[in-house]
Amino acid sequence: MKFLVTGFEPFGTSTINPSAQVVQALAGRQFNGFVVETAVLPVQRHLGPQTLLNHVQQHQPDAVICLGEAGGRTAVSIERIAVNLLDFGIADNNGLVVQDEPIAPDGPAAYFATLPVRTLQQAVLAAGIPAELSLSAGAFLCNQVMYELLHFLAGQQLAVPAGFVHLPLLPEQAASQKPPRPSMALEGMVTAVTTILHTLHHVPQAPTLA
């Protein structure tokens, strides 16, 4: 079995991104019974989603887990829905700001994640890491790559479980903000994502919304 796990490069005023650090921690790690391919995506409207889809086509994974940073979150947030909307609160790393535009003009209003989201949440909680289900991946690149991934898989009629997981800030990011924001240690995030991978390895076809 093969998984693809992606993160994002730093964006905005930050020089680090917890999702990239988790991906780097997983890169090259040996797992029992499955392989993990990794990639760090550009925070750019066009290049970010295209890089993700290139890796999907190259590696042909059995499941895809995209990771991203969400400042203010207090737990690992497993996203349930990606919406067909671009509405950037800040510029991407190319300086582009998009407001009130669809991701895919002819696409559906939203897609549900095709991962067994509740099963994954319960597994992460059982591993001792705060975890929650989330109904909003926002309207920036995180939501966009989730939507474009699910749109691509649906269009190709590929039964590949896929979804998005938001991570809190790292402590060093939170400490530099006033007032300090919620954070989680990198070790806890890596444990959460490896727990998700092991859970998917054992129950890859679990019901999506259960």
Question: Token pair for residue 110?
Answer: 């939203």
Q: Name the catalytic one among 69, 79, 148, 151.
A: 79
Largest CA distance in the chain: 47
Question: Is 79 annotated as catalytic?
Answer: yes
Centroid of chain to Cα 47: 16
Burial of 131 (0-12, 13-18, 19+ CB in 10 A): buried
Residue 142 designated active-site:
yes
Strands 2-8 and 131-134: unpaired
- Tokens 């993700």 belong to which residue? 52
Annotated catalytic residue 59: no
Do 77 and 163 contact (CB within 8 A), yes or no? no
Give the residue among 115, 27, 15 at the shortest CA–CA distance from 65. 115
The CA–CA distances, whole Å, from 51 to 6, 40, 149, 207, 208 equal: 10, 9, 11, 28, 26
Out of 66, 69, 148, 166, which one is annotated catalytic?
166
| Choice among 37, 55, 142, 148 that is catalytic | 142
Catalytically annotated residues: 79, 142, 166
